[in-house]
Amino acid sequence: MKLTPFEHEVMEAFWASEAEAPLSIREVHERLTVKKPLAYTTVQTIVSRLEGKGALRRVRKVGNAHLFQSTVTRRSAQRRLVDDFLGLLGGTRPLMLHLVETGKLSLDDLRAIESAVKKRKR
């Protein structure tokens, strides 16, 4: 599933909650408005879209508030994002070359990558 940048930000609120505990829309709204002012209804709309995409599910109702929980892990969402990004670039080579050319990839990073590749081949 593809997440928009704002949907990803909303999902971060769920992933950052203790033991991925269920959250109400109000709790998500409070966490997000620390960074920038947002209307409650905007957060409500995004949570509803995420539920429709299957990224969130309602787990119970407390009073008038529905509690939602993530059905997608941060890791799986990150993998999808990276895979989409690499698809846009045409693979890993352009990314690696860019990182080397800009000095953002160190020799230690390359050694760690080489080690991971060797482990994967085993």
Note whether 55 and 110 are same-domain residues: no
Residue 75 included in any domain: no
66 and 9 belong to one structural domain: yes
Residue-number span of the structural domain to which 106 is assigned? 92-122
Task: Specify the pTM.
Answer: 0.75
Task: Measure Cα distances from 56 to 23, 71, 94, 97 in Å.
Answer: 10, 5, 34, 37
Give the residue among 96, 89, 98, 97 at the shortest CA–CA distance from 113. Answer: 96
Residue 20 has pLDDT above 80, yes or no: no
Residue 76, in any domain of the structure: no
Residue 122 in any domain: the answer is: yes
The answer to whether residue 74 scores a pLDDT higher than 80 is yes
In a domain, 26, yes or no: yes
> Does 86 fall in a domain?
no
CA dist., res. 90 & res. 75, Å (int) = 22
Other beta carbons less than 10 A from residue 55's beta carbon: 22
Structure confidence at residue 61 as a pLDDT band (50, 70, 90): very high
State residue 31's pLDDT score.
92
Query: Which position has the token pair 């905007």?
Result: 42
Question: Is residue 84 one of the residues assigned to a domain?
Answer: no
Claim to verify: residue 60 and residue 104 sit in the same structural domain: no
- CATH code of 46's domain: 1.10.10.10
Q: What domain count does the chain have?
A: 2
Amino acid at 55: A
Confidence of residue 1 (pLDDT cuts 50, 70, 90): confident
Mean pLDDT of 12-35: 89
